[in-house]
Amino acid sequence: MSVLTITSLRKEYFDTYTNETIPAIDDVSFEVAESEFVSILGPSGCGKTTVLNIIAGFIEPSGGEVLLRGRPILGPGPDRGVVFQSFALFPWTTVLQNITFGLKMRGIDRRGTLVPSIGRPGRLAGRDPVATTASANCRNVARSSGVCRTA
Ligand SMILES: Nc1ncnc2c1ncn2[C@@H]1O[C@H](COP(=O)(O)OP(=O)(O)OP(=O)(O)O)[C@@H](O)[C@H]1O
Ligand SMILES: [Mg+2]
């Protein structure tokens, strides 16, 4: 059974600078099964991020349908983790505060249980995320997705 069903998805952006409608994706359809690993490949500007942003619930499609476990996506939710193309970190807070931001927004405090799992052991938790390497930041963003999903 498919977990994610995308049917005839379409998105047009309106460019307020040129007053033009920009077709980003048109007639995109695919299904993703439970535990299936799917990659979206294509040249720059073909609409990969647009599709992912619609699945994440960040933007609404102009047409078509996206069903997650049979239900339409109405907005972002803790059932979907997103690792952004450019790092979406808060540079003025620590690594730990970045990872636990989602929990904080939901009123859950699990910082104490998370510290040992960040770095070896908890070495990076208090660090400035800008001072850590790109791959470490990538892992931290992925961790924050997992934190939101399992909480
Ligand atoms: N907010 C926006 N306003 C206007 N046009 C946009 C906007 N976001 C994306 N576009 C346009 O929509 C099309 C698809 O963009 P998108 O970012 O989804 O492509 P992409 O496949 O992720 O590209 P890349 O590989 O460079 O990340 C492009 O023509 C882009 O210029
Ligand atoms: Mg992109």
Q: Is 38 within 8 Å of 57 (Cβ atoms)?
A: no
Whether residue 22 sits in one domain with residue 67:
yes
* Separation between Cα atoms, residue 108 and residue 37, nearest integer Å: 30
Whether residue 66 sits in one domain with residue 18:
yes
Domain that holds residue 52: 2-72
Domain membership flag for residue 78: no
Q: Which ligand is nearest to the CA of 84?
A: 2
Domain membership flag for residue 50: yes
* Separation between Cα atoms, residue 135 and residue 150, nearest integer Å: 23
Cα–Cα distances (Å) from 143 to 23, 27, 67, 83, 147, in that order, read 34, 33, 25, 10, 6
Domain membership flag for residue 84: no
Pocket test for ligand 1, best of 50, 54, 55 (most atoms within 8 A of CB): 50
Domain membership flag for residue 82: no
Q: Is 9 within 8 Å of 63 (Cβ atoms)?
A: yes
| Averaged pLDDT, 50-76 | 96
Domain membership flag for residue 83: no
Whether residue 61 sits in one domain with residue 26:
yes
- Give how many domains the chain has, as a whole number: 2
Domain membership flag for residue 101: yes
H-assigned helices in the chain: 48-56, 95-99, 101-105, 111-114, 134-150
Ligand 1: residues with CB < 6 A are 13, 15, 22, 24, 42, 44-50, 85
> How high is the mean pLDDT of the chain?
81
Domain membership flag for residue 90: no
Whether residue 66 sits in one domain with residue 30:
yes
Whether residue 66 sits in one domain with residue 13:
yes
**Residue with CA at minimum distance from ligand 1 atom 4:** 13
| Averaged pLDDT, 15-24 | 92
Pocket test for ligand 1, best of 10, 12, 13 (most atoms within 8 A of CB): 13
Which tens digits make up the pLDDT trace of 31-59? 999 999 999 999 999 999 999 999 999 99
What number of helices (H) and strands (E) belong to the chain?
5, 4
Q: Provide the pLDDT for residue 107.
A: 81
Report, in this order, helix, strand and coil percent for the chain, each rounded to 5.
30, 25, 45
Domain membership flag for residue 86: no
Whether residue 68 sits in one domain with residue 115:
no
Greater model confidence, 75 or 1: 75
Whether residue 58 sits in one domain with residue 24:
yes
Q: Which ligand is nearest to the CA of 25?
A: 1
Q: Provide the pLDDT for residue 134.
A: 58
Pocket test for ligand 1, best of 14, 20, 22 (most atoms within 8 A of CB): 22
